[in-house]
Amino acid sequence: MSSRDYYNNGKYLAEHSDFLRKADPQKDVTFLVKALGLRKSLCILDVACGQGRHIEALVKLGYCVDGVDYSTSLLKRARETMKQIPKCSSEFLYSSIETFSSKKSYDVAYWFFSDLADVSLPKALKSLNCVLKHGGRILIDTDSVFRIVRYLQEHQQRTFSFDASAMELIDKKNNVSVTYLTVPQWKELMAQYGFRLESVYGDYDMNPYTIKSPRLIIIAKQVARAE
């Protein structure tokens, strides 16, 4: 099954139903507002917005947020949810992040709870560079490789394995893999696509990134147009 199918056919929502029921998008957006210094006048983009849970929370607080995703079924859900909010002007755009373009320019883009299995990061960073205003900022929230390795060491299971020499988590059931970058690798990749790394956090409480962190969260500023 391709990653796109996984997000389109209901499997993602079913597999994450427990997580999503317990998750607190309000807490996530409190972090986003603080870490990115969001103001209500800014034009914000939710990258890979899924069913729009963070857009909903931000719009209810008075922020202007559009979303982009390549899952038609999750975008449909997002549009339906947002219909309930009076005067909501959010647009839900169907595109792969790799080829995303927009007439609108954004001040900030956040890519929260990302799944990087089906994304070329160079292509995505190039697209995001082009849709951001000069000096715009991007936040990328990924799983911490340390948490993943700890989990695999503590839990006997057959679905996932970790290729340490390639720094790749392999999902044998769905035949997909994700490469985990170190902070210096992120810094270098960001620089190649016109971004300067500004901050790194290890969780949604803005604690520093350590080997105990559950997340790796990168914030970078667009300092040059991508070629």
Ligand X SMILES: C[S@@+](CC[C@H](N)C(=O)[O-])C[C@H]1O[C@@H](n2cnc3c(N)ncnc32)[C@H](O)[C@@H]1O
Paired residues of 43 in beta bridges: 64
**Residue placing its CB nearer to ligand X in the complex, 1 or 211:** 1
Tokens of 81: 């949810």
Q: Is 136 in the site for ligand X (CB under 6 A)?
A: no
Q: In the set 38, 45, 55, 71, which binds ligand X (CB under 6 A)? A: 71
The reply to whether 171 sits near ligand X by the rule CB under 6 A is no
* 47 touches 221 (CB < 8 A): no
Task: Give the separation between CA 151 and CA 51, rounded to whole angstroms.
Answer: 27
How far apart (Å, rounded) are the C-alpha atoms in residues 91 and 75? 10
Residue 142 binding ligand X, by CB under 6 A: no
Candidate residues 59, 119, 125, 128; the one interacting with ligand X per rule CB under 6 A? 119
Distance CA 155, CA 13 (A): 23
The whole-angstrom separation of Cα 147 and Cα 154 is 11
Q: Give the total of residues touching ligand X (CB under 6 A).
A: 19
Least separation in angstroms between CB 148 and ligand X: 15
Could you say which of 96, 174, 179, 199 contacts ligand X (CB under 6 A)? 96
Q: Which residues pair with 109 in a beta bridge?
A: 45, 138
Task: Give the pair of three-digit tokens for residue 172.
Answer: 């044998």
The answer to whether 69 contacts ligand X (rule: CB under 6 A) is: yes
Within 74-93, the residues that bind ligand X by CB under 6 A are: 74
Q: Which residues within the stretch 15-34 sit at the binding site for ligand X (CB under 6 A)?
A: none
Chain residues that interact with ligand X, rule: CB under 6 A: 3, 7, 48-50, 53-54, 69-71, 74, 96-98, 112-113, 115, 118-119
